[in-house]
Structure 1
Amino acid sequence: MRCASPNRGGPAAGRWEACLAAPPNPRIGPWFRLLKSIADSHNLTPEFEVTLEATHHGPITNAPTMFVEIGSTEEYWKRQDAAQAIALLVWEGLGLGGGDAVGDWSRNCFQQKILLGIGGGHYVPRHMDIVQKDGVWVGHLIAGYSLPMEDPGPSKSQANLEVGGTWKQAIRVAFDTTRAAFPQGEVLAHLDNKSFKGWQRNAIVGFLAEKNIKVGKPSDFC
């Protein structure tokens, strides 16, 4: 069971082709935690793993958007118990039963911090470790495969190295659309440092500083 934001993908729906992305839905973090709770209470775990996914595939919309999915194969898609859990997530998440909606950014959530995940694999485990904690808001999550960086060869040890590739555009679009989805919030980048080589990490940190995008530690989001 997964929650994810869409973009326009390239090969295998992975790369940020033309660097287009929908604004992430602010409900992703709160609904991810609610889905984990529902899956646990309905004895769907550990058979089903509840996870986030990196931003990938379309469609591109102007409205804040998210996917909530059951599994990856037809075997799981037809599971009634899993479908009921997703239906309950939507019912409770939108407040259709009379309770408060879950993850409504417009309800006194201004000035809070939002995690913009950079790096890691498709299921973004290091970013997800933070988002599992109550009160954490999350925007786009960019997997390492969506950050093409041209290896500079022997010059990679130089300071202020210019690294080619479309990684800058991907980060910029992810930041801009996340900021648009969370009015008056503070978007902080969270790097999966272990997923990058030293020269890659230095290039990304330098670019973030150039664009005045702050980098947050795990404790900054809790």
Structure 2
Amino acid sequence: MDTYILLLTLFGMAAFGMAWMPSLTKHTGISYSIIYVGIGMLLYLVFPDKLPKPDPIQNNELAMRLSEMVVLVSLMGSGIKIDRPFSFKNWASPLKLILIAMTLSIGGAAVLGYYFLGFSLAAAVLIGAVLAPTDPVLASDVQVGPPKNDGRKSETRFTLTAEAGLNDGMAFPFTWLAIVLAMQASGKEMSLLNWFGYHLVFKIVVGFIIGYTLG
């Protein structure tokens, strides 16, 4: 079978299967993301030569594009569930998680990695930026339901859903901080002031303005 046709078939079956996943996860208690990971492992056992190599080092560009697509789809899925109008008062809980709890988590993980695990400063900051965000897919079972679904509405569910959609935007600046620190360690001139002004302040402010304007 042609690889392109096989991939289209698998993507179609995966999308079609999502119609049954809520019922399946309800009865089994297993997140649909875990189920799809298991199916993916089986597919690579059955079609090892037909599917793209899952090694991100060999297929760097493919791995990056697929990762971007998964992140965008996951975040969009979290975002469209939220029907609460934005205001700092209404969104106080997720903003506290993002601005306080998440930054403390990044800092704590970086300290542990640097002082106790022997990582370089750049690696420790990167570990913190990677581990701190909540996974919007794995956390989907405790998030709010679709808009107008009052059966799955609560402050806790709303907070987790909103935090899952916002945390990647907060983690990216610290990922860039790790890159800046790594480049400084290798002898290249990189400005922490530029990171603070552009990657942290400017991008977050612009992202907030665009998101608020577009609703």
Q: TM-score, normalised by structure 1?
A: 0.29
Which structure's residues are more often strand, by fraction?
Answer: 1
Larger Rg belongs to: 2
Greater RCO (CA < 8 Å, at least 6 residues apart): 1
Q: TM-score, normalised by structure 2?
A: 0.30
